Chains A and B, each alone.
Chain A
Amino acid sequence: DVKVTQSSRYLVKRTGEKVFLECVQDMDHENMFWYRQDPGLGLRLIYFSYDVKMKEKGDIPEGYSVSREKKERFSLILESASTNQTSMYLCASSLSGIGRELMNTEAFFGQGTRLTVV
């Protein structure tokens, strides 16, 4: 059974703290994603990684950084948490579709981390 595991379901942090959100997948997927989900705004891509140590900015990377030192683990870092980063954070992984034109690039999601910054 495929699995994407996020380290925390709920997190409360103070303004200015450095926050780490961890995500691990056990499917040997090349791609990993971090999204934030807010009512009325849908799923917005923060960062995308297509290989170890490789990353690409999404639509809203400001205030965030990422780390992918191992294929199975993708970390989202809030350098200095602010109240406007209070949100649901979702991690996902998928098999690379590059060079596999007919391959299904289904993304598998974790259950999310509800982060509250106070």
Chain B
Amino acid sequence: QQQVKQSPQSLIVQKGGISIINCAYENTAFDYFPWYQQFPGKGPALLIAIRPDVSEKKEGRFTISFNKSAKQFSLHIMDSQPGDSATYFCAASTLNTDKLIFGTGTRLQVFP
């Protein structure tokens, strides 16, 4: 049973376009929602994170949108670049435990 559901599994975007990756969760105790980026041959690294007291967080070209009532959150990459080509994972954890649960990942390819 997947606690954090992620879609799509793969995504192909033209350079300059917008990449959108979606995640959904069931456990209402989750209160921390990070996104991780993984390049081939490397471990994942934190990209951006949000807590449920805000509906949006933006860092440069990366934005997390959070919908608490729908139990969904998404990553938007504006002006996508070939260097953004990587696998992206959403994740969630709760306040009383640091156990981090990941989604299934999205492989993003940005073509020039």
Which residues in A have some Cβ–Cβ distance to B below 8 Å? Answer: 4, 30-31, 33, 35, 40-45, 48, 50, 56, 58-59, 90, 92, 94, 96-98, 101, 104-112
Asked whether any CB of chain A lies closer than 8 Å to the CB of B111, the reply is no
Q: Does more than half of chain B's interface fall in helix, strand or loop, or is it mixed?
A: strand
What's the tally of chain B residues with a CB closer than 8 Å to chain A? 26
CB distance from A1 to the nearest CB of B (A): 13
A-B contact list, 28 entries, CB within 8 Å: A30-B98, A31-B98, A33-B99, A35-B102, A42-B6, A42-B89, A43-B44, A43-B102, A45-B99, A45-B100, A45-B101, A50-B97, A59-B3, A59-B101, A90-B43, A92-B100, A94-B98, A97-B93, A97-B95, A98-B96, A98-B97, A104-B49, A105-B93, A105-B98, A105-B100, A107-B34, A107-B44, A111-B43
Most chain-A Cβ atoms within 10 A of its Cβ — which of B3, B34, B102?
B102
Known: A45-B101, A94-B100. A109 touches B44 (CB 8 A): yes
